[in-house]
Amino acid sequence: MTLLDRLKTDVLTADGAMGTLLYSHGIDFCYEELNTEKPEIIEKIHKDYIAAGADVIQTNTYGANAIKLARYGIENRSRELNTAAIEIAKKAAAPGGQFVLGTIGGIRGIRKSTATNAEIIASVREQAESLLSGDPDGILFETYYDFDELSDSVKLLRTMSDVPIIAQVSMHEPGVLQNGLSLNEALHRLEGIGADVVGVNCRLGPFHTLQAFEDVTLPEKAFLSAYPNASLLDVEDGRIVYESEADYFGRAAVLLRNEGVRLIGGCCGTTPKHIEAAKKRLVGLPPLTEKKVKTKKPIVIQEAKPSTDVSICEKAKTARTVIVELDTPKTLLTEKFIEGANKLYDAGVDAVTMADNSLASPRISNMAMGATLKLQHDVRSLVHITCRDHNLIGLQSHLMGLDALGLHDVLAITGDPTKIGDFPGATDVYDVSSPELIQLIKQLNDGISFSGKPLKKKANFSVAAAFNPNVRVLDRAVKRLEKKIECGADYFITQPVFTKEKIVDVYEATKHLSTPIFIGIMPLTSMRNAEFLHHEVPGIKLSDETLERMRACGDDQERAAKEGIQIAKELLDTAAQIFNGIYIITPFLRYDMSMELIHYINELDALKERGIVHADSSN
């Protein structure tokens, strides 16, 4: 009798966690490598679950794909480890007794850049071919947070074989996937593309797993599965633990059956004791054939309050738009910063933009200063957000705070590594990359949290992204720019550019795009400033001519500042002709220098409106 035949008439008990048991024994290397190095350990765990009453066991291959094995340097052993795993499981199972599932684990979590679609599909194909060669009773896809990844994997396998497919998603929040799709909708979609058993595993304990299934209607042809964790995890003395009594898990298994689930196993934290408790309580219970789901009142997501200001992005598409960066103070004295921001805004800049601890050095929070400028001085702020300083929890909380303050103009950037800043021993977070952060911010604009939970209101962020044209191969930088556009970037702000030729090159390389680009112009203040930027600051390179002109000023600070302004004006002569967006970077709170450049831009635009051709400022 096949697995699907049994599920038509019975509620089956599956096994529990493999990694939890290996972890408890102090094994701290690649678990899948044990399939060849210590096969007796894996076989014993299979037999322990069978002795506990498991009708279904799965192979020790959750991470046995080339992408995950690469972290151990054994990516070329995927076929070997999968083949060995199916042999071990088949050997442990009684002839005509337990069903053996070949396991394939999900790769992506929140992060989309972990691997490309092509790489994931190639790894699934390789793993599936190896597992199928061992004639399993089914293939189990488990722990998939990314619904698109799971869908593509199911579709691929269905072209390869007619073996039963068990497809299980994982959720951060009960009843909803991280992309905002409801669990009920997700499971029915999986059924529609060929999955025979659909369900959930990992992340949530029995309580929240049950809560998630309350809204799930019975599929037309497929069966439901659930492999909850033993509980929510805890940490004791640096080790992960799960607090859950086996009998509690057993009682939860009955409640899952009452929600229509027919294949019930365990994930993280579960042991043979949990499976034994579940089996004892499920014996003799027939599967549920009818289920009424209470209609819940839909969650209404309010539209974002319309902005009274024209967006920076939209203005830059048709008219001159100037933003000026003014770093927040490194000390607790804020008067000069606020004075500078007010004067810049009064001069007509469209926004004052503030870095997020530039060069990894702590400054007064740009959120705090942005709110001060907006609420007390009516100055529009563009706030930078780095992936370096905030984990996913902090990023979402930070963005929700910005929305509450009405600060909707943001720049999503990776951030300079901490080792170059004031605290080189500090931790770099980088939970996500800047393209991924852009996607997550846009998800907030849909009223969906990073975990998929409804926020009851849409945010209204306009998202800028960084663009560094100071590279050897500009085409590659443009490819990265195009990727950020796909992720939702509304416009771009470049690193400071120091040659007219580079400005023209940027224009030629990006003129096929409709997304506005703000060319970065930074006035130099001294020869030392120029050499520091050129030699030590990532992403900035000066021309030989610019360096020589600044060296010629020697130690004359006034002359050097004037020369820096002159160089910036010459760059503006070119930039203002071909780009609407200008991004002026204020050095060392010298907002007087930025003010002079703003006035110069206004002069250029006034001459242009009058049809007068401006003479190059270098002449």
Q: Are residues 272 and 176 in the same domain?
A: yes
pLDDT value at position 21?
A: 85
Quick check: 25 pLDDT over 90? Answer: no
213 lies in some domain: yes
Side-chain-facing half-sphere of 192: CA atoms under 13 Å: 7
pLDDT value at position 110?
A: 78
pLDDT value at position 211?
A: 95
Per-residue pLDDT tens digits for 542-580: 888 999 999 999 999 999 999 999 999 999 999 999 999
Which tokens in the block code for residue 473?
A: 């191969």
CATH number at residue 538: 3.20.20.220
Q: Are residues 194 and 323 in the same domain?
A: no
Instruction: With CA atoms as reference, report the closest residue to 110 among 151, 62, 147, 152.
Output: 147
Q: Phi/psi zone of residue 264: left (φ > 0), alpha (ψ -120 to 50 degrees), beta?
A: beta
Q: Are residues 161 and 247 in the same domain?
A: yes
The pLDDT confidence band at residue 12, using thresholds 50, 70 and 90, is very high
Helices (H), ranges, 231-319: 246-258, 272-282, 312-318
195 lies in some domain: yes
pLDDT value at position 79?
A: 97
The pLDDT confidence band at residue 617, using thresholds 50, 70 and 90, is low
The DSSP annotation for 527-553 comes to HHHHHHHHHHSTT----HHHHHHHHTT
Q: What's the average model confidence in pLDDT over 522-526? A: 94
Cα–Cα distance, 123 to 486 (Å, whole number): 25
The pLDDT confidence band at residue 167, using thresholds 50, 70 and 90, is very high
Q: How far is CA 9 from CA 3, 183, 222, 263, 279, in A?
A: 11, 25, 13, 12, 16
The pLDDT confidence band at residue 370, using thresholds 50, 70 and 90, is very high
CATH number at residue 211: 3.20.20.330
Quick check: 238 pLDDT over 70? Answer: no
Considering the chain, what percentage of its residues have pLDDT values greater than 90?
Answer: 84
Q: Are residues 252 and 390 in the same domain?
A: no
Long-range contacts of 474-477 (CB under 8 A, 24+ apart): 474/505, 474/506, 474/509, 475/509
pLDDT value at position 224?
A: 98
Q: Does the annotation place 267 within a ligand binding site?
A: yes
What's the DSSP call for residue 182?
Answer: B
Number of domains in the chain: 2
Q: Are residues 270 and 332 in the same domain?
A: no
Q: What's the average model confidence in pLDDT over 481-492? A: 96
Per-residue pLDDT tens digits for 170-208: 999 999 999 999 999 999 999 999 999 999 999 999 999
pLDDT value at position 160?
A: 97
Q: Are residues 275 and 321 in the same domain?
A: no
Considering the chain, what percentage of its residues have pLDDT values greater than 70?
Answer: 97
Spatial contact of 225 and 263, defined as CB atoms under 8 Å apart: yes
Spatial contact of 61 and 82, defined as CB atoms under 8 Å apart: yes
pLDDT value at position 225?
A: 98
Q: Does the annotation place 202 within a ligand binding site?
A: yes
Per-residue pLDDT tens digits for 245-257: 899 999 999 999 9
Q: What's the average model confidence in pLDDT over 509-523? A: 96
Q: Are residues 195 and 258 in the same domain?
A: yes
Cα–Cα distance, 8 to 1 (Å, whole number): 11
290 lies in some domain: no
The pLDDT confidence band at residue 614, using thresholds 50, 70 and 90, is low
Quick check: 529 pLDDT over 80? Answer: yes
Per-residue pLDDT tens digits for 443-458: 999 999 999 999 999 9
308 lies in some domain: no
pTM: 0.86
304 lies in some domain: no
The torsion angle over the Cα atoms of residues 91, 95, 99 and 100, rounded to 10 degrees, is 20
Q: Which residue has the tokens 């990023």?
A: 395
What domain range is 269 assigned to?
Answer: 3-282
Q: Does the annotation place 268 within a ligand binding site?
A: yes
Q: Which residue has the higher pLDDT, 129 or 305?
A: 129
Per-residue pLDDT tens digits for 320-364: 999 999 999 999 999 999 999 999 999 999 999 999 998 899 999
